Structure 1
Protein backbone atom coordinates (compact mmCIF):
# COMPACT_ATOMS: atom_id res chain seq x y z
CA UNK A 1 0.00 0.00 0.00
CA UNK A 2 2.83 2.38 0.81
CA UNK A 3 4.42 1.46 -2.52
CA UNK A 4 1.27 2.53 -4.36
CA UNK A 5 1.19 5.79 -2.40
CA UNK A 6 4.72 6.79 -3.44
CA UNK A 7 4.14 5.71 -7.04
CA UNK A 8 1.04 7.89 -7.13
CA UNK A 9 2.96 10.85 -5.74
CA UNK A 10 5.70 10.36 -8.34
CA UNK A 11 3.11 10.38 -11.12
CA UNK A 12 1.46 13.56 -9.80
CA UNK A 13 4.82 15.32 -9.51
CA UNK A 14 5.70 14.34 -13.09
CA UNK A 15 2.39 15.84 -14.24
CA UNK A 16 3.27 19.12 -12.53
CA UNK A 17 6.76 19.03 -14.07
CA UNK A 18 5.27 19.00 -17.58
CA UNK A 19 3.86 22.50 -17.01
CA UNK A 20 6.76 23.97 -15.05
CA UNK A 21 9.71 26.13 -16.06
CA UNK A 22 13.03 24.31 -16.72
CA UNK A 23 14.50 24.89 -13.25
CA UNK A 24 11.36 23.75 -11.42
CA UNK A 25 10.88 20.85 -13.85
CA UNK A 26 14.35 19.50 -13.04
CA UNK A 27 13.67 19.69 -9.30
CA UNK A 28 10.25 18.07 -9.64
CA UNK A 29 11.67 15.22 -11.70
CA UNK A 30 14.36 14.65 -9.06
CA UNK A 31 11.62 14.51 -6.45
CA UNK A 32 9.68 12.00 -8.55
CA UNK A 33 12.80 9.80 -8.74
CA UNK A 34 13.06 9.84 -4.95
CA UNK A 35 9.40 8.86 -4.64
CA UNK A 36 9.98 6.05 -7.15
CA UNK A 37 12.91 4.71 -5.14
CA UNK A 38 10.85 4.79 -1.94
CA UNK A 39 7.90 3.10 -3.58
CA UNK A 40 9.72 0.49 -5.60
CA UNK A 41 12.97 -0.19 -3.74
CA UNK A 42 11.64 -3.34 -2.09
CA UNK A 43 8.61 -5.55 -2.19
CA UNK A 44 5.28 -4.53 -0.70
CA UNK A 45 5.33 -4.31 3.07
CA UNK A 46 9.12 -4.24 3.28
CA UNK A 47 9.07 -0.94 5.16
CA UNK A 48 6.48 -2.05 7.69
CA UNK A 49 7.71 -2.92 11.14
CA UNK A 50 7.13 -6.47 12.39
CA UNK A 51 4.87 -7.09 15.36
CA UNK A 52 6.65 -7.32 18.70
CA UNK A 53 7.31 -10.78 20.08
CA UNK A 54 4.66 -12.01 22.50
CA UNK A 55 5.47 -11.71 26.18
CA UNK A 56 6.63 -14.84 27.89
CA UNK A 57 6.04 -13.45 31.37
CA UNK A 58 3.12 -11.31 32.54
CA UNK A 59 3.84 -7.65 33.22
CA UNK A 60 4.87 -6.78 36.77
CA UNK A 61 1.93 -5.81 38.90
CA UNK A 62 1.89 -2.44 40.56
CA UNK A 63 0.22 -1.96 43.89
CA UNK A 64 0.98 1.64 44.67
CA UNK A 65 -1.20 4.11 46.58
CA UNK A 66 -4.52 4.94 45.06
CA UNK A 67 -5.17 1.53 43.58
CA UNK A 68 -8.06 -0.55 44.77
Structure 2
Protein backbone atom coordinates (compact mmCIF):
# COMPACT_ATOMS: atom_id res chain seq x y z
CA UNK A 1 0.00 0.00 0.00
CA UNK A 2 2.86 2.38 0.83
CA UNK A 3 4.48 1.48 -2.49
CA UNK A 4 1.34 2.53 -4.37
CA UNK A 5 1.24 5.81 -2.43
CA UNK A 6 4.79 6.78 -3.43
CA UNK A 7 4.26 5.66 -7.01
CA UNK A 8 1.18 7.88 -7.18
CA UNK A 9 3.13 10.83 -5.81
CA UNK A 10 5.91 10.26 -8.34
CA UNK A 11 3.36 10.21 -11.17
CA UNK A 12 1.74 13.45 -9.99
CA UNK A 13 5.10 15.18 -9.64
CA UNK A 14 6.08 14.11 -13.18
CA UNK A 15 2.82 15.58 -14.45
CA UNK A 16 3.66 18.91 -12.82
CA UNK A 17 7.19 18.75 -14.25
CA UNK A 18 5.80 18.64 -17.80
CA UNK A 19 4.36 22.13 -17.35
CA UNK A 20 7.24 23.67 -15.37
CA UNK A 21 10.23 25.76 -16.39
CA UNK A 22 13.56 23.91 -16.89
CA UNK A 23 14.93 24.57 -13.39
CA UNK A 24 11.74 23.52 -11.63
CA UNK A 25 11.32 20.54 -13.99
CA UNK A 26 14.76 19.21 -13.02
CA UNK A 27 13.94 19.56 -9.31
CA UNK A 28 10.54 17.90 -9.69
CA UNK A 29 11.98 14.99 -11.66
CA UNK A 30 14.60 14.51 -8.95
CA UNK A 31 11.81 14.44 -6.38
CA UNK A 32 9.93 11.88 -8.47
CA UNK A 33 13.04 9.67 -8.52
CA UNK A 34 13.19 9.83 -4.72
CA UNK A 35 9.53 8.84 -4.48
CA UNK A 36 10.17 5.96 -6.88
CA UNK A 37 13.04 4.71 -4.74
CA UNK A 38 10.92 4.93 -1.60
CA UNK A 39 8.05 3.12 -3.26
CA UNK A 40 10.34 0.48 -4.71
CA UNK A 41 12.21 -0.05 -1.44
CA UNK A 42 8.96 -0.57 0.45
CA UNK A 43 7.95 -3.31 -1.95
CA UNK A 44 11.32 -5.07 -1.64
CA UNK A 45 11.09 -5.74 2.07
CA UNK A 46 13.04 -2.77 3.33
CA UNK A 47 12.86 -2.34 7.06
CA UNK A 48 11.86 0.93 8.61
CA UNK A 49 13.63 2.42 11.57
CA UNK A 50 11.81 1.69 14.80
CA UNK A 51 10.48 4.58 16.85
CA UNK A 52 12.65 5.58 19.81
CA UNK A 53 11.67 4.25 23.21
CA UNK A 54 9.69 6.91 25.10
CA UNK A 55 11.44 8.40 28.11
CA UNK A 56 10.07 7.55 31.51
CA UNK A 57 12.09 10.26 33.26
CA UNK A 58 13.16 13.72 32.06
CA UNK A 59 16.71 14.04 30.72
CA UNK A 60 19.40 14.64 33.34
CA UNK A 61 20.21 18.06 31.88
CA UNK A 62 17.00 19.39 33.45
CA UNK A 63 18.32 18.60 36.92
CA UNK A 64 21.89 19.82 36.48
CA UNK A 65 22.99 23.41 36.90
CA UNK A 66 21.73 26.23 39.11
CA UNK A 67 18.15 26.10 40.19
CA UNK A 68 15.57 28.70 39.23
CA UNK A 69 12.73 29.80 41.41
Same fold (TM over 0.5): yes
- Once the two structures are TM-superposed, the CA of residue 43 in structure 1 deviates from its matched residue by 2.3
Q: Under a length normalisation based on structure 2, what TM-score does the superposition of the two structures give?
A: 0.63
Indicate the SS of the match to 1:20: coil
**Unpaired segments ≥5 residues, structure 1:** none
Structure 2 residues without counterparts, runs of 5 or longer: none
Going from structure 1 to structure 2, the CA distance change for 1:23 and 1:66 (only over 3 Å counts) comes to closer
Asked if the contact 1:2/1:45 (under 8 Å) is kept, the reply is no
Change (3 A) 1:67 1:2: farther
2:6/2:38 contact within 8 Å kept:
yes
Query: Which runs of at least 4 in structure 1 moved beyond 3 Å after TM superposition?
Result: 44-68
| 2:17–2:29 contact (8 Å) kept in structure 1 | yes
Q: Which of structures 1 and 2 has the bigger CA Rg?
A: 1
For residues 39-61 of structure 1, the C-alpha deviation after alignment (integer angstroms, 9 at most, x for no partner) is 01242664568999999999999
1:5-33 residue CA offsets vs partner (Å, 9 max, x unmatched):
00000000000000000000000000000
